[in-house]
Structure 1
Amino acid sequence: MADHYQLNLGSLRSSITLTLHTHHAARLWQGRSGREGVHPILGMPGYISVTNLLKHASSQGDPYADWFMLQLEEKLLQARGEMGGLTQQVSQVERAMPTQVDVGDNLNIHPVTLPLFIGSQLGFLAIYLLTDYDSFVRRVLLAHHTALIGRVDMETWIDGGAHLLRSLFGLAQRYRVAGVSRDDMAANNARAREAIDKFGMPPQDILQGTRRSQFAPPIAHNNATPENESSSASEVDEQPTPGAAADGGDA
């Protein structure tokens, strides 16, 4: 007779860290707390909390969450493409370095290493954008140090790259939880009417669930919270609660 074993498997885990070399990238990670006369700027931890909330709401069949996930995904892909364009411009400048001069990588002697706890793919995509920016800034600073570009060009490029991340965080900061399901929308109940008044009517293919983000989770058919997908709204710098416009300005 075959032996029977009790298999009690836990959840899979991996250790993930992020290393940053520039103060510019570190400031974008931290964001800025609001105070009198100064508006808050969402940082990476706040952005990640928003994407965790989005993923959970999407798993509960919230069409507004799916709608916002698509907007955020589009913004991310656009930003990474534009960051790639900036990096190509730096590559063009670097070709002016004489071949007799050998310049190594511009690395911080004391970089900051941060542990990452991310429950959403849109969170990881933003991390990749931040690392692209960190590498880009290192190369721009080195190009200025080695007299390949002047200070004005250096500052313009660094600010241009930072704008891409601030714009992404600004869009995420506008997310508001609708708290409705596709069943609510089909029934046109009070929750659905309130959501429509606040956020407008989602496109029909999103309402039907036929168009979702490539990173959208499976839709749960009960009220149980999917394992490892929950996230408290209190984790967000400024409570996100969807229906933001497709484009976000600087935070």
Structure 2
Amino acid sequence: MNNIGDRPGPLRNSSSAEFNTKEAVALFYGRKETEELNAIIGLNIFATKIKDINNASHNDDPYADYFLLNIDSALKDAKKTLTEWQNSFTELANSSLVTIDQGSSINPITLEASFSSTYANIAFSLLKQADNLMLTIYALKHIGLMNRVNCNKEITKVNKLMRKTFLSADGYKYFNINRKDVEQKTARYNQAHVAMKFTENLSTGIMGKTLRAEHAPNIVLDPNEVFRKKPKPLDKGVSDD
């Protein structure tokens, strides 16, 4: 029998998607730089960085809030661009007198994600959108509506867009600071400001918590602030009885 005070633990969710292009799978896992190949920033690394930034934002780090705003903007821009490209190529496909099957891999890979951050899960959805877009591009090449050179160029554009999006989480460094450190310009704040290569102060909107990313976490209450609050005096004539 459960005790009255028992509560369920944190929620855990996962999602999965089927991927058909090798480029999308490479963008999921990432790749280290070699003499022959450039490094690929993967969704897994992006998700790990966002988790750290999210935790810092929860603990009142205004620099984490700054980076979450950049991540939010990058993901929204990527979605808008991918949608525009998809619509453009779909229109090109529809101009053909034959019905074009987008096609699929003979051996698609199902990838599962159990990211704790909302932004990492949004990025996973965008990666699937990029996979569908690249399938459309390959189909246009197959049917003869796009030549090999232009096909490779468009595939490269999709890859660059996704890598640029994943890079939006780069640059943040954890220094265990909060807004009080910034306001009081502590040594830890100075270290963080220099290490993250900031040349200007954070905006008043970020410092005042009025400017935050759409899916930013709740900011934990400072226990010192809670205990400092004095109880409101009872109104005259009101008793506790």
Same fold (TM over 0.5): yes
Alignment root-mean-square deviation, CA: 2.1
Q: Higher mean Cα deviation, 9-18 or 58-67?
A: 9-18
Structure 2 residue aligned with 1:96: 95
Amino acid at match of 1:138: L
- Whether the 8 Å CA contact 1:28–1:44 is kept in 2: the answer is yes
Structure 1 residue aligned with 2:8: 9
Q: Does 1:184 align with 2:175?
A: no
In 1, Cα distance between equivalents of 2:3 and 2:192: 50
Q: Does 1:127 align with 2:101?
A: no
Structure 2 residue aligned with 1:78: 77
- Give the gaps of 5 or more residues in structure 2: 224-241
Structure 2 residue aligned with 1:107: 104
In 2, Cα distance between equivalents of 1:138 and 1:37: 26
Q: Counterparts in 2 of 1:135-214, with a 5 A limit?
A: 135-199=132-196, 200=198, 201-214=201-214
Structure 2 residue aligned with 1:53: 52
In 1, Cα distance between equivalents of 2:51 and 2:218: 14
In 2, Cα distance between equivalents of 1:66 and 1:136: 31
In 2, Cα distance between equivalents of 1:108 and 1:40: 25
Taking a change above 3 Å as real, the CA distance of residues 222 and 113 of structure 1, as seen in their structure-2 partners, is farther
1:8, distance to aligned residue in structure 2 (A) = 4.0
1:37, distance to aligned residue in structure 2 (A) = 8.3
Which structure has the larger Rg over C-alpha atoms? 2
Structure 1 residue aligned with 2:220: 220
In 2, Cα distance between equivalents of 1:72 and 1:138: 26
Structure 2 residue aligned with 1:25: 24
- Whether the 8 Å CA contact 2:13–2:114 is kept in 1: the answer is no
1:39, distance to aligned residue in structure 2 (A) = 6.0
In 1, Cα distance between equivalents of 2:101 and 2:112: 27
- Whether the 8 Å CA contact 2:46–2:167 is kept in 1: the answer is no
Q: Tell me the percent identity.
A: 25
List per-residue Cα deviations over 1:217-250 (Å, max 9, x = no partner). Answer: 0011258xxxxxxxxxxxxxxxxxxxxxxxxxxx
- Whether the 8 Å CA contact 2:60–2:219 is kept in 1: the answer is yes
List per-residue Cα deviations over 1:152-188 (Å, max 9, x = no partner). Answer: 2211211111111111223323332243100111222
1:204, distance to aligned residue in structure 2 (A) = 1.7
In 2, Cα distance between equivalents of 1:156 and 1:104: 22
The TM-score with structure 1 as length reference comes to 0.79
SS across alignment from 2:18: strand
In 2, Cα distance between equivalents of 1:108 and 1:122: 28
- Whether the 8 Å CA contact 2:67–2:172 is kept in 1: the answer is yes
In 2, Cα distance between equivalents of 1:38 and 1:96: 37
1:197, distance to aligned residue in structure 2 (A) = 3.0
In 2, Cα distance between equivalents of 1:40 and 1:143: 28
In 2, Cα distance between equivalents of 1:119 and 1:154: 35
In 2, Cα distance between equivalents of 1:183 and 1:47: 28
- Whether the 8 Å CA contact 2:173–2:195 is kept in 1: the answer is no
The TM-score with structure 2 as length reference comes to 0.82
Structure 1 residue aligned with 2:42: 43
Greater relative CO, 1 or 2 (CA 8 Å, sep 6+): 1
- Give the gaps of 5 or more residues in structure 1: 224-251
In 2, Cα distance between equivalents of 1:203 and 1:66: 11
Taking a change above 3 Å as real, the CA distance of residues 177 and 158 of structure 1, as seen in their structure-2 partners, is same
Taking a change above 3 Å as real, the CA distance of residues 206 and 93 of structure 1, as seen in their structure-2 partners, is same
Amino acid at match of 1:204: T
